[in-house]
Amino acid sequence: MREMVWGGGLFVNKKYILFALALFACFGGFKDINAGEDGIYKLKPKATTEDLRKLVTEQGAQIVELDLQGYTRLNFDLDWSNCKKLKKINFFATQISDAGLRNILTNCKALEELHLNACSDLEFKNLDWSNCKKLQTLDLSSTKISDAGLQEILTNCEALEELDLSWNKLEFKNLDWSNCKKLKKLNLSECENLDERPRSRKPKISTH
């Protein structure tokens, strides 16, 4: 028999009250963060760097998906070591730096989907992609990715299935694609330096 309590003229399930109190205890301090089901989180418009820091530090172990797109005022150079289950993160049009990305690549080994499109502050220098063994989808469109930076990704991210390099100024010289055996979709649209050189080691290319 369910235990019920009387509250303001209504019978309320006591277990529901306890659950609500526990939920408030966990997330009451995160007023600028939406915590959805299945570990999906999204910042609210007024969220600060401190809000994000508190989230990844205190609730990082529960985060599976995090949407940070468009938050240009946040500093992402944080301690991401608690985010062991993080599979998808979206940094579209943010000012994430190489230092911030480096911390994520080092600590978030479960990462499967990473969106860095239109992140103009990234230079892709001294980044270690060796922990990204599960990365399947990577969006680098409209960034400053270089051939050298791309080669590090091609060498280490063997699980890549989708790669977006559109709107970049890559030279595509001497790139080794041999580790990208699972790559199914490659977007090179609007890459102004792309020519008709033979691509014997490249996967099928999508230009739209």
Element (H, E) at 11: strand 10-13
Residue-wise pLDDT tens digits, 11-21: 445 444 344 43
Name the fold adopted by 130-208.
3.80.10
Radius of gyration of the chain measured on its C-alpha atoms: 21
Residue-wise pLDDT tens digits, 169-182: 999 989 999 999 99
Letter for the amino acid at 158?
E
CA distance 141 to 161: 16
Asked if 151 and 173 touch (Cβ cutoff 8 Å), the reply is no
Measured in degrees and rounded to the nearest 5, phi and psi for residue 67 equal: -105, 115
DSSP codes, 162-185: EEE--S------S---TT-TT--E
Asked if 160 and 183 touch (Cβ cutoff 8 Å), the reply is yes
> pTM for this one?
0.79
Domain(s) of CATH 3.80.10.10: residues in the chain: 130-208
Element (H, E) at 7: strand 4-7
Residue-wise pLDDT tens digits, 90-148: 999 999 999 999 999 999 999 999 999 999 999 999 999 999 999 999 999 999 999 99
